[in-house]
Each structure stands twice: as C-alpha cells, then as structure tokens.
C-alpha cells in the first residue's frame, strides 16, 4: 500500500518522458519517482510509447558513407563504458538519488537562510533553472506561504512533515503539481517543520504587497 | 571477445531468413510505416549485438538510424547535426547493448531512451535527472497487484495496436510532445487552444491507451 496520495499529472510525466522538461523541474520529478512506484510505472508506459512512436516515425535517409564510418569505429574501445552492474549505494542520509547530489547527508546539516517569518530557504546550486527557481523550503508549524501565482508549472515535493492547501493534505513523497492558473496557500499543519522541494518554471508572483517587498529583498 | 553460442547460431539462422524478407520489403515500400521489424525481432537483434554481432547491428542501423535522424531533425537540429546524433545513438547502442535487459524494457523503449538522453545532453546541454533503481533510498513497488509484465517486447506491440484507438486530436498531442518537443503550453499556442483543453486531451489519451492496453492483453 503506497502512502502517496498526490501524484504527478499526465502532462508533467509526458513532458519528462519525452525529454521536454527543464533541468531543475526534472530533478524534482526524478526525486518523486524514486519515492513513488505508481508514477514510475506510468512513466515507463510513456517511455514505451516513446519507443513505439520512434518506430512509427518517418525516416530520413542517412548519408552514403555513414554506415561504413560508424562500422570503422565499432572496434575502438569506448572511453566511458558504464559498469555492467551498478553497485548499490551505501545507505545515505535522508534523500533519494538524484536529490542526494545537491544536499548534505541529512536535514540537520542544511544551511538554511531566512526568507520570511517562519520560512527558511535553501536554494539549490549547480543546477540550471532558466527563469525559474528551485529551492528547499522549511515552513514552521502553522505558517502559510503567502498566496502566489506562478507562470508555468510549479512542483512541490514534500520531504518532511506535511502541509495542507486548497487541494488537500500533503505528506512526505506527495507532490503538488500545479499549473500557472492555480493560486494556492499551503500551510504547515502539524507540530513539526514542513520541508519541501519547490521548483517553478517562472518567478513566483506574490499577490499582496508585503510579500512583494520581501520578494525583492530575499531574491525570490 | 564475441561468443558464438548455439543460441546465437539459431537466432541468426532464423533472422537471416527474416532479414532477407525484411530488406526486400523495405525497398519496395520504403514509405510504409508498417513495414520493418517486429518488437520481438528487435529484442533478438539487440541481444545479438550484445555479443558483438555486426550483421545484427547492421539490421538495427538500417531500421533505427533513419528514424532517429528524423526524430532529431524534427526536434530542431540541422540535418548535419541530426545525422551526427543518429550516429552517436547507434554507437551507444553498440557500446551498451550488454546492459539491455529484455525484462525491463522493449528494445524500442531502450533505444528511444538513448536518443532522448543524447538530445538533452548534446542539443540542450542539460542534465537529465533520473532515479537510480539500485538506490537504497528508492521506495520499492510492494503493491499486491503489481503485475510484472515480463514480455516487454509484446507489451510494446500491444501499445502500438492500442494507439490505433486514439482519436486524432489525442494522437496529435502525443506526437507533438515526443516529436516536436513541445510542452503543453507550446502545444496550446501551436494549435490555438486553451491550455486546459490540451491538458485534458493528454489525460484522455492516456486513459484511453490504458483502457485499450487492458483489452488487448
């Protein structure tokens, strides 16, 4: 029985399977997939569809000597041959791969920065986000993220604790996959901090003045 | 070191006969999308390639290189670049065929992934993040009704048949996603449709596909 009740939409999964998602968005998707077998299964179906579509594709003739040129290369050893068996990673801290590569071993070691009363952030580094954003947020109990819209898709993956919003209750592994039209106000609803990974395709748009001022100062 | 087992010889014998038939067919109906390799044949060929069988690789090249080239071209590269990407895809197939696991994916799925990942890496210069199935922190699939589909090759054939049951507008959004690399908002712009319509077409397409796959299994 899976504990996950909030999943990726078909639209986002399709974009991921087709290779159309921006890098920072694909990090959040891949991390959720590590936590959600049913989304993994759906994603694999979509990749199988990609393969079928490839076979059904039109063809574009290869240049005359391309096959010979390729065959001449076949006997050369490949520089970066992956090992046949991937050894299991040692039990790491709290995060699945690939998120693991961007964070310290566990939650306690994260160097949080203040963002607003009750809200701390940890922007991820060494990742391309275009005009969008990707960060961890730590929300204290009872605190709400101010109402905001967002151009494009916003993905919020719960890592610890929980929050509630207009859609429902989100716990670790759950993902809120929202499009640009949905304004929402998540509130951390238990006595522990809620830690989540949030990626947006575009900058966040806060709907009232005070958060807009904060936005300027904290560089959201 | 290539190993020629009895299995290899038998597969090759069966495929030689097929290969002749296939190559004749491809010459005569070069534009027909339905001619060419069956899913199970692709799996057999890929397994031979894992044993460094160049004849098998040649057959796969003839089938997939022109398709991968068209894929790369439709996604926006120049013809020269598309040609190069198709070569790189085929080279990776040769180098990684020993990693292909037929219980995990159909050959076409596996090859699609290589082409897609090359596109992201080389054309977009971005990382593609993926979960690691060997990660200790991966949540395993423990559901009681996890039907393990072992014959992935057959499953791909079923998906191919199920696709025929989609409405044209549903097929269209899928093709635009895979073959023009359009996000749903780009599809909305291109087709001059509300975003919500595109999203529901995507949802309906997958729900219809799932329904048909169940029927055909």
Ramachandran category for residue A179: left, alpha or beta (phi over 0 → left; psi -120 to 50 → alpha): beta
The CA dihedral of A65, A71, A73, A77, to the nearest 10 degrees, is 170
* In-domain check, residue A108: yes
**Could you tell me if A168 and A194 are in contact, meaning their C-beta atoms sit under 8 angstroms apart?**
no
B105 in reach of chain A (CB within 8 A): yes
List, edge to edge, every strand of the sheet that includes A187-188. Answer: A169-170, A163-164, A187-188
Q: Which residues of A touch B86 (CB under 8 A)?
A: 62, 66
Nearest CA in chain B to A173: B139
Give the C-alpha distances (Å, rounded to integers) separating B191 from B172, B184, B186.
Answer: 10, 10, 9
- DSSP, residue by residue, B99-111: G--TTT--HHHHH
Give the pLDDT score at A66: 93
Of B67, B135, B182, the CB nearest to A59: B67
**Could you tell me if B114 and B92 are in contact, meaning their C-beta atoms sit under 8 angstroms apart?**
yes
**Could you tell me if B11 and B129 are in contact, meaning their C-beta atoms sit under 8 angstroms apart?**
no
**Could you tell me if A138 and A176 are in contact, meaning their C-beta atoms sit under 8 angstroms apart?**
no
Which residues are CB-neighbours of A209 under 8 A, at least 6 positions away?
A: none
Cross-chain Cβ contact B131/A31 below 8 Å: yes
Instruction: Give the minimum alpha-carbon distance from A106 to chain B in angstroms, rounded to a whole number.
Output: 13
Of A20, A38, A66, the CB nearest to B181: A20
Give the pLDDT score at A216: 54
Question: Is it the case that residue B3 has pLDDT exceeding 60?
Answer: no
Of A11, A62, A92, the CB nearest to B65: A62
Residue B210: pLDDT band (50, 70, 90) is: very high
Give the pLDDT score at B25: 34
Q: Which domains does chain B have, with CATH numbers?
A: 6-19+36-123 (1.10.1740.10), 164-216 (1.10.10.10)
Instruction: Give the minimum alpha-carbon distance from B67 to chain A in angstroms, rounded to a whole number.
Output: 5
CA distance A47 to A54: 10
Query: Model-level pTM greater than 0.95?
Result: no
The CA dihedral of A73, A77, A83, A84, to the nearest 10 degrees, is 60
Helix, strand, coil percentages, rounded to 5, for chain B: 70, 0, 30
Percent of chain A at pLDDT > 90 equals 55
Which residues are CB-neighbours of A29 under 8 A, at least 6 positions away?
A: A8, A12, A13, A16, A21, A155, B129
Output the average pLDDT for chain B: 85
Cross-chain Cβ contact A19/B119 below 8 Å: yes
Token digits for A77?
């050893």
CA distance B114 to B61: 14
Of B26, B96, B13, the residue nearest B56 (C-alpha): B13
Cross-chain Cβ contact B174/A53 below 8 Å: yes
Residue B27: pLDDT band (50, 70, 90) is: very low
CA distance B194 to A45: 26
Count CB atoms within 10 A of the CB of residue B166: 19
The mean per-residue pLDDT over the stretch A164-186 comes to 86
Token digits for A61?
């003739």
- Please state the domain count of chain A: 1
Structural element, H or E, at residue B159: helix B152-163
* In-domain check, residue A118: yes
The mean per-residue pLDDT over the stretch A168-180 comes to 91
Instruction: Give the minimum alpha-carbon distance from B105 to chain A in angstroms, rounded to a whole number.
Output: 8
Half-sphere exposure of A183 (CA within 13 A, CB side): 8
CA distance A15 to A9: 10
Look at the alpha carbons of A108, A114, A120, A125 in this order and tell me if their dihedral is positive or negative: negative
Output the average pLDDT for chain A: 85
Q: Which residues of A touch B179 (CB under 8 A)?
A: 53, 57
The mean per-residue pLDDT over the stretch B33-58 comes to 89
Instruction: Give the minimum alpha-carbon distance from A148 to chain B in angstroms, rounded to a whole number.
Output: 20
* In-domain check, residue A211: yes
* In-domain check, residue A63: no
- DSSP, residue by residue, B168-198: HHHHHHHHHHHHS---HHHHHHHHT--HHHH
Give the pLDDT score at A184: 76
Cross-chain Cβ contact A63/B126 below 8 Å: no
**Mutate which of B178, B188, B195, B207 to disrupt the A interface (most A C-beta within 10 Å)?**
B178
Give the pLDDT score at B23: 39
Domain that holds residue A30: 1-57+97-220
**Mutate which of A1, A4, A12, A19 to disrupt the B interface (most B C-beta within 10 Å)?**
A19
Give the pLDDT score at B159: 95
Q: Which residues of B touch A77 (CB under 8 A)?
A: none
Phi, psi of B88 (to 5 degrees): -65, -40
Cross-chain Cβ contact A15/B106 below 8 Å: no
* In-domain check, residue A77: no
Between residues A149 and B54, the one the model is more confident about:
B54
* In-domain check, residue A110: yes
* Tens digit of each residue's pLDDT (9 = 90 or more) over B57-67: 999 999 999 99
Residue A106: pLDDT band (50, 70, 90) is: confident
Q: Which of residues 64-103 of B touch A (CB under 8 A)?
A: 64-71, 73, 79, 82-83, 86-87, 90-91, 94-96, 98-99
The mean per-residue pLDDT over the stretch A51-72 comes to 94
Q: What is the CATH number of the domain that holds A201?
A: 2.60.120.10
Lowest model confidence (mean pLDDT) among A3-12, A183-192, A205-214, B163-172: A205-214
């Amino acid at each position: 029985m899976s504990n996950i009740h909030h999943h990726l939409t078909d639209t986002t999964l399709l974009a991921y399977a087709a290779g159309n998602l921006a890098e920072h968005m694909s990090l959040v998707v891949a991390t959720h997939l590590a936590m959600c077998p049913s989304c993994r299964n759906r994603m694999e179906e979509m990749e199988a569809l990609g393969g079928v579509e490839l076979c059904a594709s039109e063809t574009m003739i290869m240049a005359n000597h391309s096959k010979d040129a390729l065959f001449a290369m076949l006997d050369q050893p490949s520089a970066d041959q992956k090992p046949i068996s991937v050894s299991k990673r040692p039990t790491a801290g709290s995060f699945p791969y690939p998120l693991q590569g961007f964070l310290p071993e566990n939650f306690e070691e994260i160097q949080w920065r203040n963002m607003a009363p009750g809200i701390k952030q940890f922007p991820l580094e060494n990742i391309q986000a275009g005009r969008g954003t990707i960060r961890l947020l730590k929300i204290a109990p009872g605190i709400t993220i101010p109402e905001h819209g967002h151009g494009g898709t916003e993905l919020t993956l719960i890592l610890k604790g929980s929050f509630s919003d207009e859609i429902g209750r989100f716990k670790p592994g759950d993902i809120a996959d929202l499009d640009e039209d949905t304004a929402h106000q998540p509130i951390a609803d238990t006595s522990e901090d809620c830690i989540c990974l949030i990626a947006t395709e575009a900058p966040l748009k806060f709907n009232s003045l005070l958060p807009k001022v904060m936005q300027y100062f904290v560089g959201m | 070191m290539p190993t020629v087992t009895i299995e290899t010889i038998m597969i090759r014998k069966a495929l030689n006969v097929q290969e002749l038939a296939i190559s004749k067919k491809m010459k005569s109906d070069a534009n027909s999308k339905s001619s060419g390799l069956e899913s199970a044949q692709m799996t057999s060929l890929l397994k031979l390639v894992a044993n460094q069988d160049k004849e098998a690789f040649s057959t796969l090249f003839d089938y997939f290189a022109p398709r991968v080239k068209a894929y790369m071209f439709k996604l926006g590269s120049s013809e020269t670049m598309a040609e190069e990407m198709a070569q790189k895809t085929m080279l990776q197939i040769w180098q990684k065929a020993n990693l292909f696991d037929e219980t995990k994916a159909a050959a076409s799925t596996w090859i699609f992934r290589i082409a897609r990942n090359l596109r992201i890496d080389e054309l977009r210069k971005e990382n593609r993040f993926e979960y690691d199935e060997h990660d200790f922190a991966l949540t395993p699939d423990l559901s009681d009704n996890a039907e393990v589909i072992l014959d992935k090759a057959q499953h791909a054939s079923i998906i191919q048949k199920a696709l025929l049951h989609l409405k044209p507008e549903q097929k269209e959004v899928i093709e635009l996603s895979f073959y023009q690399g359009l996000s749903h908002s780009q599809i909305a712009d291109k087709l001059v449709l509300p975003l919500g319509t595109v999203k529901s077409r995507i949802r309906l397409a997958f729900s219809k596909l799932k329904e048909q796959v169940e029927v055909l299994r």
